[in-house]
Structure formats: C-alpha cells, structure tokens
Chains A and B, each alone.
Chain A
Amino acid sequence: MTTQTNETYTKPLPEADPEDRPYWESLKRHAMEIQRCSECGEYTFLPKPLCPNCLADALVWTRVSGRGTVWGTTTQSHPPLPSFSAEDMPFNISLVELAEGVRVCTNVIGCPVEDVRIGMEVEVVYDDVTDDVTLARFRPVKDQ
C-alpha cells in the first residue's frame, strides 16, 4: 500500500497547533501521551493551556497505557462526508475511557461493528494514515 501524504489523503486531518502538537507527535511515535497536572495529579484531555482542575501551569505530557474501556458506542451507517466511500461503511465510533480516566473519541476496529459493547476492554492501534499524521484507533483486547 502506497503511503498517503497529507495532500493525497482525502478524509479530514487534524490541524496541529502549538497547544496540541505534542499529542499528535506522540501518536506519530506510537507512544500516546496525555497531559497530566504535576500539582494535582489529574489527567486532562483535550489538550489545554492550564490544568482545568486546579489552574496550575503544570501540565506535563505523560505516556499512557493505551488501554481502556468502551464508554459509549455508535455505528456510522452512511458516509459522514463524500470522502468516505461505500467500502468504509459501516464503521464504529466510540468514546473510549482510558485507564488514566480521560475519554477519547475513536474507532473500535478489528471486530464486527455489532460486537462493540459498552464496557468492552480495548487497546490502542496506531494508524499511520499519512506520512505525517497518525490516528489512535482501538481494538478489543484478546482473552477478556
């Protein structure tokens, strides 16, 4: 499979800015990092300038386990944009609660969409969708 570039890839891509560039760079390294406050210990996501819990200027990008559970799940049945083709459909969209307590929006892959359940244990799968951007999808943990 030819590697896509940001120019040839037709689905939406993130636009990293100074506040969240470390997140996207961590995915590119296949080592997901989430901000954690070194004052109060809380993790926060989406990326933020200060800790929303205690307002300390002490958020540190911290490697996370990449494990979590499905908190909410839906099945996208029709293409959400014209750049999604019939072969992409249907696909799962889930909110996954990471072991560290924050939630991320993602796709659960690696099993039929009808098998995805709230409470299912999942782990991150890094998907290098272009030579520049990596997305964090999740798959069921085996032997759960």
Chain B
Amino acid sequence: MTSLRGKCAIVGVGETRIGKLPNVGTLTLHVEAAKHALDDAGLKASQIDGLLTNQPLHDPFRTYSVVVAHAMGITPRYTTDLALGGATPVAMAIHAAMAIEAGLATTVMCVHGRNQASLHLLPKNGVGTTREANGGIRDGAEDYEQPYGFMVGPGHHAFAASRHMHEYGTTSEQLGAIAVSTRKHANLTPTATMYGRPMTLEDHQNSRFIVAPLRLMDCSLVSDGGGAFIVTSADRAKDLRKPPAYIMGFGSNNPHAQLVDAKTLTTLGGKVSSETAYKMAGVGPGDMDFAQIYDCFTITTLITLEDYGFCSKGDGGAWVQGGRIELGGELPVNTHGGLLSHGHLEGITHVNEAVRQLRGDDVEPERQVEGAEVGIVSGHGGNLSTHATLILSNRRN
C-alpha cells in the first residue's frame, strides 16, 4: 500500500457570509461558497471533475451531490454525499485525496451549506420531534431519548461534561477558559459572528445553564452559511494561485453509534483517529503550530485536545487555562473563533482556517500564527460518535 502522505493539497477555500441569512437558500449557499473557492484557487468550474457534499437534513434530496454539481456547472466523474455529521468536512478532504490517488478525479470540490439559523431544525409547535423535523431521517435512538425530553446536541455533550467532571474533577471555569480564548480569536476575525463582542470568564460563569453542566457560553452558534475547499494533486497544486496546504496525514474513528452504547464519554474517536494521522504524517502533537478543533461545545474541545495527545487524559481542564490555547500561547486553538464564536458550518471553516494559516499572509496579521508550517484539524459529530483528523502542512517533506 502506498501512502497518501503529501500526495494531495488543498488549493482553494471560500465561504459565504455566515450568520442569519433568512432569504438565502441552501443550494445558493453551496454554489456561492464553491465560487469563492474557485476564485481563491484560480480555477474554473470546468476544471473540477469531482464533488463531495453533505446533504442538509432539513431538506434531503436523492442524489444531492449531483444536483449541487450541475447547479455550479460541474460535470463530475466522481461524486457522492457523505453523512458523518460534524466529521464530514474533514472526511471530505480524506475522501477527495483517496479519489484523486485512485484516478477517479483530478480536482475535487468539497462543499457544505446549511440554514440552521433560519430554518429551525426543531418545529415551533406541538408534538414535533427531530425525526419529523429532519424529513423522516432518523438518528437511531430518538425513540429512546426524545420521550424523556432528551434532544440531540447539548444534551449529549452535557453527559460528556458530567462524566469528565466526575472522573477528573474538571470544572465549569476550565470549560469557560476555552470559550474565552475562542472568543478572543473571534474578536480578531471580522467575519466572525461574535466579532466586536468580547467575553470574560465572569460572563461565561453568569450565563444560564442550557443542559447542566453546560452553560449558554459552552454552546456553539447556530448559523446559516456555506463553505467550500478544493483538493487536487500536489503536482497540479504547484501552479495554482495560492500556496498549497499539503495533506500530510489523516485518520478517522467512530467508536459507538448511540450514547447508550458508548463505553466511555471521556475518550472519543479522536484518540485512534489522531494516532492514525500522526503515524501517516510522521509527526506528533509536539510538532503542531496550531490546532483547529471541532468545538460544538467547550467539552468537545477539551476531550479532543486530550485525545490528540496535547496533554494527558484528564489534565485538559488545567491545561487549557492561562492562555495556553490562545494566539501567542503554546498551541493556538481555533484561531478564527471556532463554532463557538465564528459560526457553525459543521467544521468546514476549521479546514479553511488551517489552510489560510499555512499560507502565511492570508489572515489578519493580528491572528497569524507566526511561522506556521504544520497544523491539525478535527471533525466530530453524530452522538459523539464520529471523528476525523487532518494534518496539513505548507511543506511536503
């Protein structure tokens, strides 16, 4: 088996506006984001022969990726729809690299759009369940959770926080340190939803519980928007407009399906996924100049940082305090403001931020990680059940 280390690169990134966009349809978000990524790479739609999507649950289509491709003038030789929740954008990069190496495509558009803010997933009245709101698409455990008032998202992650606090003595203030660090980065990022809205640890501690032990400021934003990135071979990447971000390593792991199946909620798929990616890339956690960590909730960031080996299991709470994960610290995390404070496009902006940091001159100078050469990106989704990892570098060796 040949390694895919350094064989492909991300060569174009783009997003739409992110926030509340009530008059913009989901398909439009896909097409606009893809157009920005093409412009960024200096490519034309006719040069794209692969396309990956993650169809919106509120409006599912058969053959979604084919519909999206032809809406943007792409006739794909290779296309499919991936369904790994918040791990999907990172998984798209992995699948694109595999398809290119297999000769199924030369250049793959990976695109993701959502109207989470404007088309509320949960219905406003009556008996509504997430199954009904998702057009009948099932999660698999809803009959065993929703009758007890247990809904996806905050509830699931509150259990992880409850277990982490029980097993390791982690505190709400320590989770708050993640929220505050992330908000600082959003305040350096003009496209962030929370730009211009600073937050203190006191604000975090005063915010109401959503599902205790998680507070409002432990929860990510709900956003409309689209994001896209383009993957091609390292050889093609050399001649494009922007410096390539080479795909040096990747992994994924999906340790359970439902919350009741999970052997543990304090070690998740990130452990095996990152070990796979580090081995492939020939690097370790100490080599990372930054980390873009999927942060649907602060506890997700904490567990992933531990699973990725940046600190020992259980030490994450103390480790994230004192500015260690801020720009200028030992490991800047979510330098755009993350899902917590930038916007929630299920992690595609984490991939794009990593690419921009590696270009060296593509983000506001105040938030550029100086001399960044290698960084790691995580995706996490489902019922804390899916995970994917990507290691990117601006050097191929």
The number of residues on chain A lying at the interface, defined by a beta carbon within 8 Å of a beta carbon of chain B, is 40
Q: Is A105 an interface residue (CB 8 A)?
A: yes
| A82 at the B interface (CB under 8 A) | yes
Q: Of B81-89, B124-132, B370-378, which binds chain A?
A: B124-132
Name the distance in Å between A119's Cβ and chain B's nearest Cβ: 8
B210 touches A78 (CB 8 A): yes
- Interface flags for A74-100 (1: CB within 8 Å of B; 0: not) read 111110111110001011010100000
Chain B interface residue count, CB cutoff 8 Å, equals: 39
B43 within 8 Å of A (CB atoms): no
Known contacts: A46-B141, A83-B127, A102-B260. The answer to whether A13 contacts B208 by CB under 8 A is: no
Instruction: Specify the main secondary structure of chain A where it touches its partner.
Output: loop
Surface stretch bound by A, among B18-26, B46-54, B144-152, B306-314: B144-152
Given known pairs A12-B127, A72-B162, A74-B159, the reply for A95 and B259 (CB within 8 Å) is yes
B265 at interface, CB cutoff 8 A: yes
Task: Identify the closest chain A residue to B143 (Cβ).
Answer: A14
Question: Are the CB atoms of A77 and B147 closer together than 8 Å?
Answer: no
Which residue in A16, A82, A107 is a CB contact (below 8 Å) of B149? A107
Known: A11-B127, A83-B126, A105-B260. A93 touches B210 (CB 8 A): no
A76 B166 Cβ-Cβ under 8 A:
no
Secondary structure of the B side of the interface?
mixed
Shortest beta-carbon distance, B127 to chain A, in Å? 5
Quote the shortest CB–CB distance from A47 to chain B (angstroms).
9
Interface members, chain B 106-122 (any A CB < 8 Å): 122
Partner of A80, one of B124, B127, B144, B151: B151
Instruction: Decide yes or no whether A125 CB sits under 8 A from chain B.
Output: no
Q: How far is the CA of A78 from the CA of B212 in the complex (A)?
A: 10
Could you give 27 example pairs across A and B, Cβ below 8 Å? A10-B126, A14-B143, A14-B147, A46-B140, A46-B141, A46-B258, A46-B260, A46-B261, A72-B163, A72-B166, A73-B159, A74-B162, A74-B214, A75-B212, A76-B155, A78-B210, A80-B149, A81-B149, A82-B124, A82-B128, A93-B148, A103-B260, A105-B141, A105-B144, A105-B145, A105-B148, A105-B150
Q: Assuming A10-B126, A10-B127, what are 12 further A-B pairs, CB within 8 angstroms?
A: A11-B149, A46-B260, A72-B159, A72-B265, A75-B209, A76-B150, A81-B149, A82-B123, A103-B259, A103-B260, A105-B141, A118-B166
